[in-house]
Chains A and B, each alone.
Chain A
Amino acid sequence: QITLKESGPTLVKPTQTLTLTCTFSGFSLSTSGVGVGWIRQPPGKALEWLALIYWDDDKHYSPSLKSRLTITKDTSKNQVVLTMTNMDPVDTATYYCAHLAVAGTYGSFDIWGQGTMVTVSS
């Protein structure tokens, strides 16, 4: 059974760096084809894809946020970490991590964490 859980601060100040950890079980990020993504959702708004990391350390970022994002993995701890620099109130959102499912060449997020709400305010 695959599970994921996000953790990190609930409140950060403007200009600070946010560090979120996704701790997962039921799969290994050292297995070929496996990946984990981050998605966020501001209150009352749509989902926004942020970043994706694959088993081979291939990384992809949202172009609009690329300069502020870093995604890394710790295979031994079954964790994926997302850092976002220079936080702003518009970054207030629920942040989700999700397991990448691959069927042939078709990717989707089949299992999601419960999400963690992050508020940016002074």
Chain B
Amino acid sequence: DIQMTQSPSSLSASVGDRVTITCRASQSINIYLNWYQQKPGKAPKLLIYAASSLQSGVPSRFSGSGSGTDFTLTISSLQPEDFATYYCQQSYSTPWTFGQGTKVEIK
């Protein structure tokens, strides 16, 4: 299985901050990398697919980058509704493994 490691596991930030979350794959996955946002009690929501493609309807303050083994999700200006847990997922090969999640909390 391909292991996905996110960092940090949690972070505290203020509204308006620029936030960066990192995801590292245990082997090269090209750009087969997705990012999801999950709020408490809710299903995950797709934000970014193929490492940098913004899912329809997702605000442009979200962006993704990277290829190979190292990837980044950036929120350019954190909004109150962005406080949530974020997961990366590889779709390079099954099983499509997820990272352990990064919880973004209010400072």
Contacts and interface: CB of A to CB of B under 8 A. Distances in A.
B98 A103 contact: no
Q: Which of B31, B87, B94, B99 has most A Cβ within 10 Å? A: B94
Interface stretch (A8-16, A79-87, A112-120): A112-120
B49 A47 contact: no
B101 A46 contact: yes
A106 B32 contact: yes
Interface in B17-68: 31-32, 34, 36, 38, 43-46, 49-50, 53, 55
A25 interface: no
Nearest to A109: B46
Given A46-B87, A47-B87, A112-B43, A106 B95 contact: no
B81 interface: no
B97 interface: yes
A63 interface: yes
Interface of B: 1, 31-32, 34, 36, 38, 43-46, 49-50, 53, 55, 87, 89, 91, 94-101
Given A101-B49, A108-B91, 4 more contacts: A39-B98, A46-B99, A101-B46, A107-B96
Interface of A: 37, 39, 46-49, 52, 60-63, 96, 98, 101, 103-104, 106-110, 112-115
